[in-house]
Chain A
Amino acid sequence: MRNTTTRRRVNPDAPIISLEKVSKAYTAGIPALNDVNLHINRGEFVFVVGDSGSGKSTLIKLLLRELLPTSGKIIVNGTDVVRLRRRQIPKFRRNLGVVFQDFRLLKDRNVYENVAFAQRIIQKSNREIRKNVPSMLSIVGLAGKYKARPKQLSGGEQQRVALARALVNKPQILLADEPTGNLDPKNSWEIMNLLEKINDSGTTVLVVTHNREIVNAMKKRVITMKKGIIISDEEEGGYIDED
């Protein structure tokens, strides 16, 4: 038993993420995703790798319901994403933590407010926010910098703020699109270790990355994409070289 949420509508054994025959074409040309089938179970840690333009970010955007698929079925955390109404989207996203390569922090607010923001969205009381935010910040190792502005932080620190923000509401799933894309190896490892720690506590983690060294070292499930198709899906996989 992990993540004992009160409103579990889902069979806990069903995949938390499932795509069936999903295609996405931006324009009339070649589809960015082509007939993709993918199932991820609760508590898994999954890397998604592949060439630039292979459709990794498109996959993340579909899971976030930023985009709708051209065809196919997508279930995330028990929700049929395609049939989700527009005004149900915010609530749906609150079960997903999301991290991007470019951090996407609110530039004019300090570290504390950036993390607190996620809690304000779900209407937590100030008392709870004052409790949860500092404890989340200390998990990512930024307890001492809560007053700093994003500009005053290194890339690694900014990404940890983004991670704290993504996790403070205790989401079931964490989606990360190249979270270490702008970081040096040391910071990349720190972020990855944090992601693994989060995964250990029960959160399903999906990481899109180009970081060959980390993928090969961590021995997780690796999904490799090419031109919108999943060309390999291995437990304890490695980074597949193309050339």
Chain B
Amino acid sequence: MRINTLFYCIWQGFKNIFRNKWFTLASVATISACLFMFGLFYAILANFQYIMKGLEQGVSVTALLEEDITDERTREIGDMIARRSEVQETVYVSADETWEQFAEENFGSTDGFRENPLSDCAHYVIYMNDVSGQQTLVDYLRSIDGVRKVNESALTAQTFVGVNAIIGYVSIGIILILFLVSIFLISNTVTIGIQVRKEEIQIMKYIGATDFFARAPFVIEGMLIGVIGSFIPLIAVYFIYNEAMIYVAGSWEFLSQLLRFLPVDEIFSVLVPVCIGIGVGIGFIGSYTTVRKHLSV
């Protein structure tokens, strides 16, 4: 095929967008609406997971060490814990530090105490990368020689596992519904454009156009509509997201500790390629299947 022909097909694809303005408008609106819902849903879901993750990371297990333990054994235990796969981070807090923290929080200072009343409270604070592994970790810690006591977090692993499962089911459900709605809307929109295309393609085929030559401009048109249809909701979601962050921060200050928003960049580094991919994919499949039906002249 000549490069000339390829350019012609692409150029015609561009022109088709303006030739069939109503079809373009309807298709762009349909794809935009679907991707807008998807974008919002994704942003909410991603933040929810982010918040959950934050809470999870706050979950820690405390391993209190024997009072007369040697420094070397302390380090050894630290290494043993750090090697565990479910452990993300371990922080060693010496008995003195524990006491200073406690005193600071409760009396303002350690003044007036000569001895450390919490001398048996040197401990490791252990943060996990997956709370579902908490029970295993606790059992392991209890088996270590030199660990006096293990305190589990108040928020139990079971809660998180349950909530995460619910989120998973709900997201699958919503994505499925969105998907079905998109297919329905798009197949409806595509039928609007069929008549024009049918005539044109038949004429082209009468004159001896190959399937490719007759088909390519319409398929390119479909993909371009997909691109346009994905940019609009991306921009909309971007603004809504920013506004929502400002609004929540301003209105519910007491929640700002809990409602930490994911930065816009992080949401959009996923959303942009995924939306454009879905948009172009829908445009391609929609136009290709429509046009294919009308090649039988």
Which positions in A face B, CB cutoff 8 Å?
64, 66, 87, 90-94, 96, 98, 104-108, 117-118, 120-123, 125-126, 165-166
Contact = CB atoms under 8 A, between A and B. Distances in A.
Nearest to B202: A104
B246 interface: no
Contacts of B210: 87, 90, 121
Interface stretch (B1-9, B169-177, B218-226, B265-273): B1-9
A81 to B, nearest CB: 14
Nearest to A64: B206
A233 B140 CA distance: 103
B2 A90 contact: no
B203 interface: yes
Contacts of B206: 64, 66, 93, 98, 104
Contacts of A66: 206, 297
A96 B5 CA distance: 21
A22 B8 CA distance: 40
Interface in B201-230: 202-211, 213
Nearest to B295: A86
Contacts of A98: 206-207
B5 A123 contact: yes
B292 interface: no
30 contacts: A64-B206, A66-B206, A66-B297, A90-B208, A90-B209, A91-B208, A92-B208, A93-B206, A93-B208, A94-B207, A94-B208, A98-B206, A104-B206, A106-B200, A106-B204, A108-B20, A117-B207, A118-B207, A118-B208, A120-B5, A120-B8, A120-B213, A121-B207, A121-B209, A121-B213, A122-B208, A123-B1, A123-B2, A125-B2, A126-B4
Closest 4 CB pairs of A and B: A93-B208, A94-B208, A108-B19, A90-B210
A93 B210 CA distance: 10
Nearest to B20: A108
Given A66-B297, A106-B200, A108-B19, A93 B5 contact: no
Given A91-B208, A122-B208, A106 B203 contact: yes
Contacts of A118: 207-208
Nearest to A171: B208
Interface of B: 1-2, 4-5, 8, 19-20, 199-200, 202-211, 213, 297
Nearest to A118: B207
Nearest to A114: B203
A90 B205 contact: yes
A147 to B, nearest CB: 16
A96 B20 CA distance: 30
A165 B208 CA distance: 12
A125 B7 CA distance: 12
- Tell which of A91, A93, A94, A121 has the most Cβ of chain B within 10 Å: A121
Nearest to A166: B207
Nearest to A120: B8
A87 B209 CA distance: 11
Contacts of B205: 90, 93
Nearest to A129: B4
Contacts of A96: 208
Contacts of A92: 208
Contacts of B5: 120, 123
Contacts of B199: 104, 107
Contacts of B208: 90-94, 96, 118, 121-122
Contacts of A126: 4
A92 B208 CA distance: 7
Contacts of B209: 90, 121
Given A106-B204, A108-B20, 11 more contacts: A87-B210, A87-B211, A93-B207, A94-B208, A96-B208, A105-B203, A106-B200, A117-B204, A123-B1, A125-B2, A165-B207
A191 to B, nearest CB: 18
A107 to B, nearest CB: 8
Contacts of B211: 87, 90
A181 to B, nearest CB: 17
A122 B209 CA distance: 8
A67 to B, nearest CB: 10
A107 B196 CA distance: 9
A27 B19 CA distance: 39
- Tell which of B4, B5, B207, B297 has the most Cβ of chain A within 10 Å: B207
B162 to A, nearest CB: 59
A125 B1 CA distance: 12
Contacts of A105: 203
A123 B4 CA distance: 8
Nearest to A92: B208
Contacts of A64: 206
A63 B241 CA distance: 63
B4 A121 contact: no
Nearest to B203: A104
B124 to A, nearest CB: 73
Contacts of B8: 120
